[in-house]
Amino acid sequence: DTEVTQTPKHLVMGMTNKKSLKCEQHMGHRAMYWYKQKAKKPPELMFVYSYEKLSINESVPSRFSPECPNSSLLNLHLHALQPEDSALYLCASSQPDRGSTDTQYFGPGTRLTVL
């Protein structure tokens, strides 16, 4: 099974709401990623977790709070977002490999709209 699942598929939230995005994989991968993708733009890396520890935060505002409760799950907690945060949020996972083959497997994304 090479599937990464993300829920919900779509999310509409107000600027004062708190919501969470969920990502799950059962491939035994120990690296997990959050990306943000604006319309007609490439994905941009936000966070990387390696072995359930946060290892990269690409200077993401604190209104985005990632969490990795176990090796299969990755959450992104959202609070006090701005309309410009509306985007497709993609989750990915890979098996860490110092060689070249840590292929990242992406989920279909959550389409977030902030009103």
Partner 1 sequence: DAKTTQPNSMESNEEEPVHLPCNHSTISGTDYIHWYRQLPSQGPEYVIHGLTSNVNNRMASLAIAEDRKSSTLILHRATLRDAAVYYCILRVLIAGGTSYGKLTFGQGTILTVHP
Residues at the site binding partner 1, with contacts judged by CB under 8 A: 4, 31, 41-45, 48, 50, 55-56, 90, 92, 94, 96-98, 100-109
CB closer to partner 1 out of 52 and 102: 102
CB closer to partner 1 out of 16 and 101: 101
Q: How far is the CB of 49 from partner 1 (least distance, A)?
A: 10
CB closer to partner 1 out of 43 and 66: 43
Q: How far is the CB of 99 from partner 1 (least distance, A)?
A: 9
Q: How far is the CB of 8 from partner 1 (least distance, A)?
A: 15
CB closer to partner 1 out of 10 and 62: 10
CA 107 – CA 4 distance, rounded (Å):
5
Residue 51 tokens, joined: 């072995």
Q: How far is the CB of 87 from partner 1 (least distance, A)?
A: 13
Q: What 3 state SS string does the chain have?
A: CCCEEEECCEEEECCCCEEEEEEEECCCCCEEEEEEECCCCCCEEEEEEECCEEEEECCCCCCEEEEEEECCEEEEEEECCCHHHCEEEEEEEECCCCCCCCCCEECCCEEEEEC
